[in-house]
Amino acid sequence: MKKLLKGGRVVDPSTGRDGQFDVLIEGDRIAKIGKNLPIDGAEVVEIPAGYVIAPGLIDMHVHLREPGQEHKETVATGTMAAVAGGFTAVACMPNTTPINDNANVTSYIVAKAREANLARVYPIGAVSRGSKGELLADIAELREAGCVALSDDGWPVRTALMMRRALEYAGMFGMPVIDHCEDPSLRADGVAHEGCCAGLLGLKGIPAAAESIMAERDILLAELTGSAVHIAHMSARTSLRAVRKGKEAGIRVTSEVTPHHFTLTDDYLNAPIPYDTNTKMNPPLREVADRDSMIAGIADGSIDCIATDHAPHHYDEKKVEFDHAPFGIVGLETAVSLTFDRLVHAGVINMSRMVGLLSTNPARILNIPGGTLAEGALADITILAPDMTVRVAAASMKTRSKNMPFEGWELRGGVAATIVGGRTLFNNPDAGLTV
């Protein structure tokens, strides 16, 4: 089975390609890339002018909720949302029920992913047993079962000593430790960014320093141990300052930012819907200076990845008092459009950098296959339609939960098709091509 993608603009930072190339897919691999490749019995897909052929996008921070919270999401619904959002692979956080802190849970997730047979799923194992921050999880077993990184996401790694040990031990396997940076004493029972908006609305604040203190700590510990630390869902300009300083010093620190943190600010707490629980996330939506700083960090390369922190919650759980609602929003199916609209079309980054943020860099940080259109590589490909008009509608989303504040937004740029291992798993009916 051969398929020839003809006439698209190939953008692949891993090989330095950016231009008009044909892509020949044979089985689950990319067989050849070149100008005017012969058809040679392949099924030809004419790519419309302006469309971009990118290595499959990778979301290194999602919550698939299975096992244990299947009313919010499952591996099957989550990976269906992933391919609809242009992602050929996702890395899922371990805060399931039970926590993914042992090989049984990892194997269960891997089996569910195989059953669903959609986007590739790379589990992230817990740093500590039960993510309690007391004893290390069985990291070698987690790795053996398929985990590619470690995190106690949802909770920070509480003590500096535990973080040090985790970095040292995980470093032996070359696994990065991904930290949800938040000092619990400063965060206390806060529910929104500590700033003018939360103050006015009478919402308990989470200061930016709660995140940055721990980011600073983790970067120091990465320096101490020589291991790699990745700062999850960075939101505060003071954390970015710490990351920049760390990178300048040659410390192995990387970071990601979510689409909502480069798009929204805490003003959304009050308008258009006051106390909208779909504006409640952790880290919280920060103030304008922080949001702008995230954009600047994306532009200058200090930020390595865009990751969604896709956090599905049932509508019952969100239809409560702001104080009582769970943190988080879904993001898999809006990330590409927000990145196009807010970053690419706004002139912040070019197409190649977008692919770097969403594919090349996450593959490199997690040390997983993909993130490249090199000949012989897996045929994980996302075809992007930079000028497609996308109207965000929860009702048409594949994710089981619909919690997000972007309903009705009109954005420029979307996903035309998603190919995983040579199989077309998503074909946007609005894109005007059949892959």
Partner 1 sequence: MSDETLPVATALRHKDLLAISDMTPEEIRLVLDTAEAMKEIGSRTIKKVPALRGKTVVNLFFEPSTRTRTSFEIAEKRLSADTLNIAIASSSVVKGETLADTALTLEAMNPDMIVLRHSSSGAAHLLSRICKSSIINAGDGTHEHPTQALLDAYTIRSRKGGIAGLKVAIVGDLLHSRVLRSNVHLLTKLGAEVWVCGPPTLIPVDIARLGVKVTHRVDEAVEGADVIMLLRIQLERMQGAYFPSLREYFSVFGMTEARVKRAKDDVIIMHPGPMNRGVEIASEVADGPFSVILDQVANGVAVRMAVLYLLAGGVEHHEEAA
Residues that bind partner 1 (CB under 8 A): 194-196, 198-205, 273-275, 316, 319-324
Q: Which two tokens stand for residue 426?
A: 């998503």
Cβ pair 129, 141 in contact under 8 A: no
Give 140 or 200: the residue with its C-beta nearer to partner 1. Answer: 200
Q: Which two tokens stand for residue 57?
A: 């996008």
Give 270 or 352: the residue with its C-beta nearer to partner 1. Answer: 270
Task: Provide the minimum distance between the beta carbon of 190 and partner 1 in the complex, in angstroms, as a whole number.
Answer: 12
For the CA atoms of 271, 307, 195, 302, what is the dihedral angle to 10 degrees? -130
Task: Provide the minimum distance between the beta carbon of 273 and partner 1 in the complex, in angstroms, as a whole number.
Answer: 8
Give 100 or 403: the residue with its C-beta nearer to partner 1. Answer: 403
Minimal CA–CA distance to 311: which of 119, 95, 39, 11?
Answer: 95
160-172 and 208-225 helices, crossing angle to 10°: 50
CA angle, residues 248, 348, 240, in degrees to nearest 5: 35
Task: Provide the minimum distance between the beta carbon of 197 and partner 1 in the complex, in angstroms, as a whole number.
Answer: 9
Task: Provide the minimum distance between the beta carbon of 288 and partner 1 in the complex, in angstroms, as a whole number.
Answer: 12
- Phi-psi map region of 247: left, alpha, beta (phi>0 left; psi -120 to 50 alpha): alpha
Give 248 or 316: the residue with its C-beta nearer to partner 1. Answer: 316
Q: SS3 for 251?
A: coil
Minimal CA–CA distance to 412: which of 387, 383, 384?
Answer: 387
Give 12 or 266: the residue with its C-beta nearer to partner 1. Answer: 266
Give 266 or 304: the residue with its C-beta nearer to partner 1. Answer: 266
Cβ pair 235, 208 in contact under 8 A: yes
Task: Provide the minimum distance between the beta carbon of 183 and partner 1 in the complex, in angstroms, as a whole number.
Answer: 16
Say how far apart CA 297 and CA 235 lie, in whole Å.
11
Phi first, then psi: what are they for 88, rounded to 5°? -90, -15
Beta strands 410-420 and 253-257: pairing type? Answer: unpaired
Catalytic site residues? 309
Say how far apart CA 32 and CA 430 lie, in whole Å.
28
Helix (H) or strand (E) holding 198: helix 196-201
Q: Which residues pair with 427 in a beta bridge?
A: 417
Task: Provide the minimum distance between the beta carbon of 229 and partner 1 in the complex, in angstroms, as a whole number.
Answer: 30
Task: Provide the minimum distance between the beta carbon of 270 and partner 1 in the complex, in angstroms, as a whole number.
Answer: 9
Q: Between the CA of residue 60 and those of 162, 166, 228, 362, 371, what are the distances in Å?
A: 23, 19, 15, 6, 12
Give 44 or 196: the residue with its C-beta nearer to partner 1. Answer: 196
